[in-house]
Structure 1
């Protein structure tokens, strides 16, 4: 039988102590150095064990302060679906109506922003080509639950009524409907989800701690010719949301 990694054994022991109430909610745990000495392990092992419990939602790290027992929070599910009709609407409002989902958003757009190299590659345009970029902050019951930064090439929308996603006759209607109004038909959406740690700016906007686990989703939308018409970086805090992907079954 393979031997369990040392950090997992330490994490299990710490988890049992936390669940038994040895430390109260909001109480600071002993330092990693002290706990490492107590368990007779190296500091790296203790660091990984505590990181495991942070990911599990039992602890939270506070930069420059230490590690604390986290207040229990209900982790709600966000469903992302491949069904075409669910692509209408702002980036966070894609999916079925689940409890606690985003019910409001704030958006700020800028026009003629030069595309950075990575964005230009995703949009198949030249670096520096003008784009419309929109920053979204999504709320559920007044609480921040998601961030999104969207980029659209102005070569597609410039001079049309839908150049700004949150202004004009189709404000807030989403990429599919806006593009359809100017004769561009969306056919494919590709999402690349990756785990990451919250930057200071993300943590401040989401009301979480620096370094907290987040899910970053790189989304790109293509038309029927395979041309990218929008790309976005979506950030979802792990402590508040779990993400489920729904796929329809094609029957012959």
Structure 2
């Protein structure tokens, strides 16, 4: 398992200390230099860790003054990042742990489902090719957080222990780790976010009202050859969660 990036380890520690009340809302954190000395890392590591917590809405930077603990948001910020798949196990469970919550989910898989035309186009297969589709309801401390419907071509997973995502030796693991176990290396994820309104079925599952604003995220994973190996439609209720994207920046 790849070791977590040092700045993510520092961010996790700082997050836990803030949640434990070591620094109250409005309190100024020690300087980046002091934290770097405390954690035995470089200043750039602590700066990236604090930047991560600013993205999450836990901290705020004030020009010329320092970094402070921010008043909790009414809506919780969900950070989607390329590091999410590198933390092992389920990215969702890791994300909820970052917020001090317990992430769980309920799921139902169905095999040998013919791919509808739109899904076939996203997976670069023929309409009617057989897939496994899995519907998820993700929960944090027992409360609904998001919904997802996933499609995987059976041409990729048929006859392997991971053909049903939530059964077998890697049940509960993320797509990247499951695919890696059968020799499929995922290299890229593409996400397309779109606004939408809640249907009756979605409202019932998420505990919101019909017509409430949603964020729908169309996500597709590609292997190292550029082949799509999984696609999903993720639904997040706007009233409770705001989604932020973290991108790495190439240095010249």
TM range (shorter): 0.5 to 0.7
Q: Does the 8 Å contact 1:102/1:138 carry over to 2?
A: no
Question: Aligned-pair distance for 1:84?
Answer: 6.5
Q: Tell me what 2:178 maps to.
A: 178
Query: Within 5 A, what are the aligned runs for 1:60-209?
Result: 74-83=74-83, 85-86=85-86, 89-90=89-90, 92-93=92-93, 95=95, 97-99=97-99, 103-209=103-209
Q: Tell me what 2:247 maps to.
A: 247
Whole-angstrom CA distance in 2 between matches of 1:184 and 1:220:
15
Whole-angstrom CA distance in 1 between matches of 2:118 and 2:154:
17
SS at match of 2:137: strand
Question: Aligned-pair distance for 1:140?
Answer: 1.1
Higher Cα radius of gyration: 1
Q: Does the 8 Å contact 2:216/2:233 carry over to 1?
A: yes
Q: Does the 8 Å contact 1:83/1:247 carry over to 2?
A: no
Q: Does the 8 Å contact 1:218/1:231 carry over to 2?
A: yes
**Structure 1 spans left out of the alignment, 5+ residues:** 1-72
**Deviation digits for residues 61-89 of structure 1 (CA, Å, limit 9, x no counterpart):** xxxxxxxxxxxx92111110023644754
Question: Aligned-pair distance for 1:251?
Answer: 2.6
Question: Aligned-pair distance for 1:91?
Answer: 6.5
**Deviation digits for residues 81-127 of structure 1 (CA, Å, limit 9, x no counterpart):** 02364475447447584326561111110000110110000000000
Q: Tell me what 1:222 maps to.
A: 222
Q: TM-score scaled to structure 2, two decimals?
A: 0.67
Change (3 A) 1:74 1:174: same
Q: TM-score scaled to structure 1, two decimals?
A: 0.67
TM-align CA RMSD: 2.0
Whole-angstrom CA distance in 1 between matches of 2:75 and 2:100:
10
Task: Give the paired residue count.
Answer: 180
Whole-angstrom CA distance in 2 between matches of 1:179 and 1:196:
30
Question: Aligned-pair distance for 1:173?
Answer: 1.1
